[in-house]
Amino acid sequence: MAGNKTFSMIKPDAVAEGNTGAILKMIEDAGFKIVAMKKTLLTKERAGQFYEVHKERPFYEDLRSYMSSGPIVALILEKENAVADFRKLIGATDPAKAEEGTIRKLFAKSIEANAVHGSDADETAENEGSFFFSHTERF
Ligand code: IDP
Ligand code: MG
CA of 136 to the centre of ligand 1 (A): 30
Q: Strands (DSSP E) along the chain, which ranges?
A: 5-10, 33-40, 72-78, 116-118
CA of 112 to the centre of ligand 1 (A): 6
Specify whether the CB–CB gap between 4 and 80 falls below 8 A. Answer: yes
Residue 127 to residue 18: CA distance in whole angstroms: 28
pLDDT at 84 (0 to 100): 98
Residues in the chain: 139
For residue range 71-91, list pLDDT tens digits in order. 999 999 999 999 999 999 999
Q: Is 54 a catalytic residue?
A: no
Residue span of the structural domain in which 58 resides: 5-137
Task: Tell me the CATH number at 95.
Answer: 3.30.70.141
Our count of domains for the chain comes to: 1
pLDDT at 2 (0 to 100): 57
Specify whether the CB–CB gap between 102 and 91 falls below 8 A. Answer: yes
Catalytic residue among 23, 76, 117, 133: 117
pTM of the model: 0.97
For residue range 3-50, list pLDDT tens digits in order. 899 999 999 999 999 999 999 999 999 999 999 999 999 999 999 999
3-state secondary structure of 37: strand
